[in-house]
Structure 1
Amino acid sequence: MPRRLIAWWTLPAGILAAGGQAPVSLWLLALAGFSLLALAHLRSPSPRAAALAGWRFGFGYFAAALLWIVEPFMVDAAHDGWMAPFALILLSGGLALFWALALYLARRVAPRGALAPALAFAAALTLSEALRGWIFTGFPWSLIGQNLIPSPILPLAALAGPHALSLALLLPAAAFGAALSRRQWRPALTGAALLAALLLLSPLARPLAPPAGPGAPIVRLVQPNAPQREKWDSEKSAMFFRRQLDYSSAAPTPDLIVWPETAIPYLLDQNPGLPAMLSRDANGAPLAVGINRSQDGRYYNSLAVIGPDATLVDLYDKHHLVPFGEYIPFGDLLAKLGITAFAAQTGHGFSAGPGPHLITIPGVGTALPLICYEAVFPRDIRNAPARPDLLLQITNDAWFGTFSGPYQHLAQARLRSVEQGLPMIRVANTGISALIAADGTVLDALPLGQAGYLDVALPSAAPATPYARHGDLPALLAAFLALALSAALAFMPRSAPGHKAIDHPDPQS
C-alpha cells in the first residue's frame, strides 16, 4: 500500500478506534483502529513519520471520543460558544502529542526486526497513557484500555488496573498490524491466540460481588434533572431544590439519602439552619449532599454528611479540581481579561481540599467520596487513608451534554469498582445515577434526562483486589520490560544466514 495513503488514513482510523468508547461501546472497532495504527507504525520509514502517524491517529481518536468537551461552552453559547471548536481542536491535538511521542520512541528503540517493532509499539503507547494520566494533574479520560470496559476482558483491571487493559488491547492489535504489514498469517494467528486467551481467562479475575444481604442498608439516589442552562436560574433553582426535598421525604424512609454535586443553591456556611431543614424533610434519615461553601475567602466544592440529629457529621472538599472548569491557573490575572472558570464563583475558581478523606455515614459504613471528575483517577482512590466499605460519587454531568460524556463517565465509574472490588453509589444531577456492584455490574440506574429517585440495597464489598494492593506498578513494569525487550530483540545479531527481518519496505512501495 502506498506510504502516503497509509499516512493520511491514520486520522479516520483514529475515529474508528474511538468507537470502543461509550456510548458506541464496540470494543472490536477499537481493536481494528489500533491494528491500523500498528500497520502505519510498522510501515513508517523514520521515527518522525511514525510520530506523525501517531499524532494524526490520536487527533482523530480524541476529537471523536471527547466531542462532549464542547458542551460546557454551549451552556452560555452567546458568550462562550465561539471557544468550543478551539477547545476541541486544542485538546485533541495536545493529547495526540503523547501518542506521537510514544511512536517516535518505539521507532527509535526498535527500528527493525520481526517482533521488536510491534512489541515496542504496544509498550510505548501504554507508558504514554500512564504519563497522560499524571502530568499537569493528569487527564486519563478515554484511555486506550477503557475501550475494553464493554468486553469480557474488563475483569483484568482487578489484577493490574487500566494500563493492563491498554496492553491487552495493544498487543493483539500490534500482532494484527504486523500481519497486515508483512502479509503473513503467522502474526495474525499469534494475535488471535493472545486475544482468545484474554477473552477466556480474564473473567476468572472478576471480583467476587456479594449481593445485598438481609438487612443491607437502603440508599436513596436523588436525581433532580436540572439542565445546566436552568440550574442556577433564580426561579428554577428553587423548583429543583424543592423537587429534591420531595423525593427525600417520600416513604418509606431509607437508611441514607444522597443528592448530587452542587445540589443545593445556597452556601453551607451562610445558612446555619440548612442541616435542620434538610433533616426534617428527610424524616431524620442521614443525607450526603453536594453543596458549595466558603471559608476564609475561599470557595470549595463539597460533600456534606448530615446525621439523623440534623448535625453536620462530616465534610469533604473536592481536591482534584478540573483545570479551566473549576479553577483557572493564574485566575486573578486572567479574570481581568474576562476568562473565568465555568463552575467557579470567582476569577480564580474553587480551592482544592486537602486530599482523599473517608467519611463515616451512620448506619451505612465508611465511604470514599468522589466528586465528579475525581472518579476518573484511579490514584485518587488508591491514595485513600484506608479501604472503605463503598465508593460514593456525586456529580453534575449536565456539563457533559446528553450524547457521550455522561455515558463515558459512568463507564469509568464501573472501572473503578472493578479495580478496587468495591460497590459504588453514583448520584448524578441529570443522570446517570446508578448502583454499581463490586464487579462493575450496573445493578440499577436512573436514565439520563429523567427526574426521580431510586431506592437500592447496598451490596457488600469484595476482598481487596491485587490492583487495590499493588496499584499500577505491575502493568507499568511489564510495559517497561516489554520496551526493553523490544530494544534487545531489535539489535540482536541475526542467527541464520537466510533470516529476513521485517525492516521497513522500500520507500517507493
Structure 2
Amino acid sequence: MPLALIAFALLAVLVRRASGFIAFRLGYFFGLGQFVPGLFWITESFQVEADRFGWLALPAVLGLSALLSVFPALACALAARMERAGLPLALSMATSWTATEWLRGHVLTGFPWNLAAYTLSDWPVAAQASSVFGSYGLGFLLVLCAALAGLAFVSAADGKRISRLATAGAIALSVTAFGAMRLLFADVPSERGAQIRVVQPNIAQSAKWDDATRNSNILKLIALSAQPGDFDILLWPETAWPGFLAEDAGARAMLGWLLPETGVLLTGSPEREETGAGTVYRNAVLAISRDGTILTRYAKHHLVPFGEYVPWRSLLPLQRLVQSLGDFTPGPGPRTLAFGPHPYAGIAICYEIIFPGHVVDDAIRPDWIFNATNDAWFGASIGPWQHLASARMRAIEEGLPLVRAANTGISAVVDSYGATLAMLEIDTSGVIDIRLPRPLPATIYARFGDWALLFLMLTSWAISGYWARQQQANLKGASK
C-alpha cells in the first residue's frame, strides 16, 4: 500500500503542467509498469499445453499490457487537460483515473483486474469504505490522497502545501475512522450457521481431463469429501467433475452417499444441451441432493475471452487456449440459488468474482457468495492471490460472506468484512470445515452500486468548487 501511494503521488507530480501528449506518454509507461509485472502470471496458462501455445506466452502478456495501458494514459492526458482549464489537478487526476478504471471494467467484456483499491485489500480498516463507495470509489479516494500529498511537496506557496496535506490527512483519517468503527461493532460469528466443507483436491490442469487419471481424480475428490466430520453443504471447485454430471444419474447417486439427509453438494460441471442451432455448452454449478437429484443450477454468464469462447469468431482466425468440444454459451446473469433448508447462495464462477457490482442478483439477495474456481492454470504464481484479493473486496462491498473452492488453491472462507477465516494454500489438498459466517444487511454499495461512486465524485467537485470560491472571496475582501 505505501508503494501505491508513492507511485500515484509521483505520477501526479510528473503530470503537473505537462502537455497532453507528454501526460499521455507518462500514463502509458505507468500503465506498462503496472500491468506487465501484475499480469505476468498469465504466462503460466500457456505452459499447460506448451507445445501448442507456449510461444504465445510473452507476446500475450505484453500485448494485453500494451492495450490496457491506454486507460491510464487517457487518465493522465485528461487530467492534464483539466488542469490547463484551471481545475485542481489532484481532483482531476483522481476523477480521470477512476473514470478510466471504470471503463476498463466495462468496455467490451471488461477486465477490472488489479484496481487501485486492491492495494488496500490487506488493510481491512481502510478497505471497509468499499462497502459504501465500492472498489472504484475507494480507488478514487486513494488516488486523491496520493495526488494531494505529492503535489503538496512541489507547491510554491506554504498555504497550498498545508491545505493539500490537511485535505489528504482528513480523507485518510475519515476512511480509517469509518473502517475502525465498522470493525469495532462487527457481529460476533454465529454458532448456528450452516456447516460447510470446502474441498481442494489439488489436481494439476494437465491431468484434469486426462482419461488415464479420471478415476483417480474422482476418487481423490470422494476421499477428501468423506473425511470424518459433519457438514450441511459440500463445496467442490469449478468443473470439478470431469464430464457431464447432469447426464450421469449413477454418478450423482454415488455422490449422494457422501451427503447427510438434508445435505447438498455444490459442484462445478460442464453442461450441454441440444438446440435447434446445435449443441450448447455451459460452464455450470449444480446443486445435488442426497438422492442424486439436481435441485437447481447456475450457468456462468461472464465468460473468459479466448479461454471459454473466441470473440468475433467469424473475423478472428484464432483458437481457444482451452481444448473442448465448442465455445461456452453465457448464462442469463447473476442468480440466487435456493436449495433445501440452507441459506440462499449467490454463485460466481472463477473470473466472475472480479467484477464489482455484478456478482449478486439484485432481485433476490443471497445469504452468501460461492466462488467456484479453477486457478490451476496459473500454478503457484501471484495470480491466485490477486484473484483472492478481488473476492475479498466483493465480500466487503456486498456485506456477504464468501466461500472459495479452488482446485489447486487458494480455497478460503471470508466473512462479510473481508477477513479470511480459513484458507488452504496453493498446491495443497485438503478440506475446510467451518460454520458459514452470517450476512450483514445490504450495504450502501449493495443497494446503489456505482451510483454511490458518482455521488462521491460529484460531492468532491462541489466541495472543491465551494472552497475555491471562498478563497477568491477572501482574497477580494483582503484587497479592499
User: Structure 2 length normalisation: TM-score?
Assistant: 0.90
Cα 1:322–1:372, aligned 2, differ >3 Å: closer, same or farther?
A: same
Give the alignment partner of residue 142 of structure 1, picking from 106, 114, 127. 114
Task: Output aligned runs, 1:264-303, within 5 Å.
Answer: 264-282=241-259, 285-296=263-274, 297-303=279-285
Return the structure number with greater relative CO, CA threshold 8 A, min gap 6. 1
Deviates further, 194-203 or 213-222: 194-203
- Once residues 348 and 246 of structure 2 are traced to their aligned partners in structure 1, the CA distance between those partners, rounded to angstroms, is 21
2:154 corresponds in structure 1 to 181
Q: Does 1:117 align with 2:89?
A: yes
- Once residues 223 and 321 of structure 1 are traced to their aligned partners in structure 2, the CA distance between those partners, rounded to angstroms, is 23
Cα 1:124–1:427, aligned 2, differ >3 Å: closer, same or farther?
A: same
- Once residues 246 and 193 of structure 2 are traced to their aligned partners in structure 1, the CA distance between those partners, rounded to angstroms, is 34
2:379 corresponds in structure 1 to 401
The one-character-per-residue Cα deviations of 1:246-297 (angstroms, maximum 9, x if unpaired) are 1222223411101000101111344232211211244553100100011020
The one-character-per-residue Cα deviations of 1:475-504 (angstroms, maximum 9, x if unpaired) are 12332565688799999997759x9xxxxx
2:232 corresponds in structure 1 to 255
- Once residues 278 and 366 of structure 1 are traced to their aligned partners in structure 2, the CA distance between those partners, rounded to angstroms, is 22
TM-superposed CA distance for 1:424, in Å, is 1.1
State the SS of the aligned residue for 1:110: helix
- Once residues 34 and 75 of structure 1 are traced to their aligned partners in structure 2, the CA distance between those partners, rounded to angstroms, is 36
1:373 corresponds in structure 2 to 351
State the SS of the aligned residue for 1:342: coil
One-letter code of the match for 2:434? V
Give the alignment partner of residue 28 of structure 2, picking from 55, 58, 75. 55
TM-superposed CA distance for 1:176, in Å, is 1.9
1:191 corresponds in structure 2 to 168
TM-superposed CA distance for 1:110, in Å, is 2.3
- Once residues 236 and 357 of structure 2 are traced to their aligned partners in structure 1, the CA distance between those partners, rounded to angstroms, is 25
2:424 corresponds in structure 1 to 446
- Once residues 15 and 468 of structure 2 are traced to their aligned partners in structure 1, the CA distance between those partners, rounded to angstroms, is 15
- Once residues 252 and 383 of structure 1 are traced to their aligned partners in structure 2, the CA distance between those partners, rounded to angstroms, is 32
State the SS of the aligned residue for 2:304: coil
Deviates further, 243-252 or 198-207: 198-207
The one-character-per-residue Cα deviations of 1:355-413 (angstroms, maximum 9, x if unpaired) are 11111132322101110011111222244421111111100011222121111111111
One-letter code of the match for 1:403? S
1:308 corresponds in structure 2 to 290
TM-superposed CA distance for 1:239, in Å, is 1.6
Checking the alignment, whether the CA contact within 8 Å between 2:244 and 2:269 is kept in structure 1 is: yes
Checking the alignment, whether the CA contact within 8 Å between 2:128 and 2:178 is kept in structure 1 is: no
Deviates further, 196-205 or 477-486: 477-486
Task: Output aligned runs, 1:405-444, within 5 Å.
Answer: 405-444=383-422
The one-character-per-residue Cα deviations of 1:31-90 (angstroms, maximum 9, x if unpaired) are 11111111111142x111111111110111111211212121111122111111111111
Checking the alignment, whether the CA contact within 8 Å between 1:43 and 1:181 is kept in structure 2 is: no
1:23 corresponds in structure 2 to none
Cα 1:175–1:356, aligned 2, differ >3 Å: closer, same or farther?
A: same
Task: Output aligned runs, 1:320-339, within 5 Å.
Answer: 320-331=302-313, 334=316, 337=317, 339=318
- Once residues 135 and 283 of structure 2 are traced to their aligned partners in structure 1, the CA distance between those partners, rounded to angstroms, is 27
Give the alignment partner of residue 204 of structure 2, picking from 209, 212, 227. 227
1:342 corresponds in structure 2 to 321
State the SS of the aligned residue for 2:69: helix
- Once residues 166 and 189 of structure 2 are traced to their aligned partners in structure 1, the CA distance between those partners, rounded to angstroms, is 43
Cα 1:38–1:315, aligned 2, differ >3 Å: closer, same or farther?
A: same
1:9 corresponds in structure 2 to none
1:34 corresponds in structure 2 to 8
- Once residues 304 and 451 of structure 1 are traced to their aligned partners in structure 2, the CA distance between those partners, rounded to angstroms, is 22
- Once residues 154 and 211 of structure 2 are traced to their aligned partners in structure 1, the CA distance between those partners, rounded to angstroms, is 61
State the SS of the aligned residue for 1:239: helix
* Structure 1 runs not aligned, ≥5 long: 1-26, 500-509
State the SS of the aligned residue for 2:422: strand
State the SS of the aligned residue for 2:139: helix
One-letter code of the match for 2:173? A
The one-character-per-residue Cα deviations of 1:9-35 (angstroms, maximum 9, x if unpaired) are xxxxxxxxxxxxxxxxxx111111111
Cα 1:256–1:269, aligned 2, differ >3 Å: closer, same or farther?
A: closer
Checking the alignment, whether the CA contact within 8 Å between 2:285 and 2:299 is kept in structure 1 is: yes
Cα 1:382–1:392, aligned 2, differ >3 Å: closer, same or farther?
A: closer
- Once residues 71 and 465 of structure 2 are traced to their aligned partners in structure 1, the CA distance between those partners, rounded to angstroms, is 20
Cα 1:383–1:215, aligned 2, differ >3 Å: closer, same or farther?
A: closer
- Once residues 405 and 328 of structure 1 are traced to their aligned partners in structure 2, the CA distance between those partners, rounded to angstroms, is 22
- Once residues 53 and 461 of structure 2 are traced to their aligned partners in structure 1, the CA distance between those partners, rounded to angstroms, is 44
Taking only aligned residues, the RMSD between alpha carbons, in angstroms, comes to 2.5
One-letter code of the match for 1:446? L
2:46 corresponds in structure 1 to 73
Give the alignment partner of residue 143 of structure 2, picking from 170, 194, 199. 170
Cα 1:307–1:332, aligned 2, differ >3 Å: closer, same or farther?
A: farther
Task: Output aligned runs, 1:12-23, within 5 Å.
Answer: none
- Once residues 359 and 194 of structure 1 are traced to their aligned partners in structure 2, the CA distance between those partners, rounded to angstroms, is 39
- Once residues 428 and 186 of structure 2 are traced to their aligned partners in structure 1, the CA distance between those partners, rounded to angstroms, is 28
- Once residues 489 and 94 of structure 1 are traced to their aligned partners in structure 2, the CA distance between those partners, rounded to angstroms, is 38
One-letter code of the match for 2:289? G
Cα 1:477–1:190, aligned 2, differ >3 Å: closer, same or farther?
A: closer
The one-character-per-residue Cα deviations of 1:166-203 (angstroms, maximum 9, x if unpaired) are 11211111112212333664234443343233323333
Checking the alignment, whether the CA contact within 8 Å between 1:331 and 1:340 is kept in structure 2 is: no
1:464 corresponds in structure 2 to 442
- Once residues 187 and 472 of structure 2 are traced to their aligned partners in structure 1, the CA distance between those partners, rounded to angstroms, is 54
Identity %: 36
TM-superposed CA distance for 1:94, in Å, is 1.1
- Once residues 165 and 22 of structure 2 are traced to their aligned partners in structure 1, the CA distance between those partners, rounded to angstroms, is 24
One-letter code of the match for 2:271? R
Checking the alignment, whether the CA contact within 8 Å between 1:109 and 1:486 is kept in structure 2 is: no
Checking the alignment, whether the CA contact within 8 Å between 1:209 and 1:462 is kept in structure 2 is: no
Cα 1:384–1:298, aligned 2, differ >3 Å: closer, same or farther?
A: same
- Once residues 325 and 406 of structure 1 are traced to their aligned partners in structure 2, the CA distance between those partners, rounded to angstroms, is 17
One-letter code of the match for 2:141? A
One-letter code of the match for 1:41? V
State the SS of the aligned residue for 2:269: strand
The one-character-per-residue Cα deviations of 1:306-341 (angstroms, maximum 9, x if unpaired) are 01222110011101101111110133665xx5x322
Deviates further, 100-109 or 230-239: 230-239
Give the alignment partner of residue 219 of structure 2, picking from 232, 242, 246. 242
State the SS of the aligned residue for 1:139: coil
